[in-house]
């Protein structure tokens, strides 16, 4: 297919590129060098790996194939910073990211500076085809996804250090929701999927119709005080509320509460970016996995929303504090097709054994999400900033 050249405002594009790239480094500014390196569990990547991997994305998918004469910064980095792209060759196994004492943190910052300079040179000269512009957009949105993962992983790293160091003394997010009860949506046919002209991920495309029964969805998210009640009433001790897999998880993990909660001398505390503190009962509950969200809903005699219910109702409530677990498996929409080449590995190959989360969280970069956005994680994952919205 003949590529269509699209107009671009180079300065605007470069400014956006710079701003997004800079934000990743701003997130890491409070870290000590040692914080950049550790990988306490497989799901958590070392911050320096995120910084290198997001840079590798621009080098691999834009500069190397499209900038004539481009010299890669270091030929070994493809092995180190390729995340999961089979088409792009062998890579360090995910569990070993924490073993990478080299490249050093300063090497990785030098890598970022080199690629940013090359991207500037490239964007000033190039006329981007529509396809290449789409890859650049994907690279920027990819970096924003990793900014959220950076904060998620930094919280895990510091929150699992026995000294509970604060990430930032300033950061105290106080958000509470006005409880406006339940919103009713009448039975009918609703359209679901991305319907705009801007950027969206391929998993949101394929707008389609869904028939929904009448349902009522909570206007606000479940709070810590409601969740504490679930714990106090034996929520983690009664198999009846749990899926079989969820109950296995409770027993194996000896789970008693959301991630970061600690029962200290009879009272619950939790780790926040500001350090260890008393649980704020007004705050919305965070760091629950799908099993916990489902069990809580079952205890309430309710359920989690389907992703199409969430999307249909999303104009009637505030969202953006927590990724909200849905009862929907992560599956392709009708007419979903994978892109050719490595970019086709971005989303589609993960459409198995994962549940969809909707909305955004307090650590999602501003403007990154939208009502058709489909986040997805395995049901066991607690480390995302995930919460619960009920349906009855
Ligand atoms: Fe990535």
Residue 83 Cα to ligand 1 middle (Å) = 6
Residue 54 Cα to ligand 1 middle (Å) = 6
pLDDT score at 230: 98
Residue 279 Cα to ligand 1 middle (Å) = 33
Cα 95 from Cα 97, distance rounded (Å): 6
Residue 30 Cα to ligand 1 middle (Å) = 22
pLDDT values of the chain reduced to their tens digit, one per residue, 392 residues: 344 445 557 888 999 999 999 999 999 999 999 999 999 999 999 999 999 999 999 999 999 999 999 999 999 999 999 988 888 888 888 888 999 999 999 999 999 999 999 999 999 998 899 999 999 999 999 999 999 999 999 999 999 999 999 998 765 555 555 666 999 999 999 999 999 999 999 999 999 999 999 999 999 999 999 999 999 999 999 999 999 999 999 999 999 999 999 999 999 999 999 999 999 999 999 999 999 999 999 999 999 999 999 999 999 999 999 999 999 999 999 999 988 888 899 999 999 999 999 999 999 999 999 999 999 999 999 999 999 999 99
Residues with Cβ within 5 Å of ion ligand 1? 83
pLDDT score at 86: 86
30 closest CA partner among 162, 158, 116: 158
Residue 258 Cα to ligand 1 middle (Å) = 26
Residue 46 Cα to ligand 1 middle (Å) = 13
Query: With contact defined as beta carbons under 8 Å apart, do 291 and 305 qualify?
Result: no
Residue 190 Cα to ligand 1 middle (Å) = 32
Mark residue 71 as left, alpha or beta (left: phi above 0; alpha: psi -120 to 50; beta: remaining).
beta
Cα–Cα separations (whole angstroms), residue 76 to 60, 65, 106, 345? 13, 17, 16, 22
Q: What is the pTM of this model?
A: 0.94
Residue 330 Cα to ligand 1 middle (Å) = 18
Cα 312 from Cα 294, distance rounded (Å): 21
pLDDT score at 380: 98
**End-to-end CA, the chain:** 49
Residue 349 Cα to ligand 1 middle (Å) = 14
């Amino acid at each position: 297919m003949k590529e269509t050249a699209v107009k671009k405002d180079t300065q605007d594009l470069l400014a956006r590129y710079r701003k997004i790239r800079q934000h990743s480094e701003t997130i890491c500014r409070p870290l000590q060098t040692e914080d950049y390196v550790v990988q306490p569990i497989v799901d958590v990547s070392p911050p320096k790996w995120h910084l290198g991997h997001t840079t590798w994305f621009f080098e691999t998918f834009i500069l190397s194939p499209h900038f004539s004469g481009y010299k890669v910064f270091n030929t070994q980095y493809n092995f180190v910073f390729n995340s999961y792209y089979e088409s792009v060759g062998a890579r360090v196994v995910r569990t070993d990211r924490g073993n990478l004492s080299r490249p050093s943190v300063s090497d990785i910052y030098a890598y970022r500076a080199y690629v940013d300079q090359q991207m500037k040179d490239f964007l000033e000269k190039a006329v981007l085809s529509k396809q290449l512009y789409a890859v650049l957009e994907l690279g920027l949105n990819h970096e924003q996804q990793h900014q959220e993962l950076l904060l998620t992983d930094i919280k895990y790293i510091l929150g699992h250090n026995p000294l509970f160091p604060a990430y930032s003394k300033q950061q105290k997010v106080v958000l509470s929701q006005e409880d406006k009860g339940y919103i009713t949506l009448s039975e009918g046919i609703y359209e679901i999927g991305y319907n705009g002209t801007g950027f969206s991920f391929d998993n949101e495309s394929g707008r389609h119709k869904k028939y929904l029964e009448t349902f009522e969805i909570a206007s606000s998210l479940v709070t810590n005080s409601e969740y504490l009640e679930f714990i106090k009433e034996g929520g983690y001790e009664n198999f009846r509320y749990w899926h079989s897999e969820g109950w296995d998880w409770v027993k194996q993990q000896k789970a008693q509460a959301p991630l970061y909660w600690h029962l200290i001398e009879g009272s619950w505390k939790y780790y926040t970016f500001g350090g260890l503190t008393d649980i704020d009962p007004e705050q919305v509950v965070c760091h629950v996995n799908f099993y916990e969200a489902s069990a809580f809903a079952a205890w309430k005699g309710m359920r989690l929303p389907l992703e199409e219910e969430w999307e249909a109702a999303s104009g009637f409530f505030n969202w953006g504090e927590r990724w909200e677990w849905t009862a929907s498996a992560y599956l392709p929409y009708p007419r979903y097709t994978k892109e050719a080449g490595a970019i086709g590995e971005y989303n589609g190959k993960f459409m198995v054994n994962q549940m969809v989360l909707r909305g955004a969280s307090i650590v999602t970069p501003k403007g990154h999400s939208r009502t058709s956005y489909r986040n997805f994680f395995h049901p066991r994952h607690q480390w995302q900033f995930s919460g619960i919205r009920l349906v009855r």
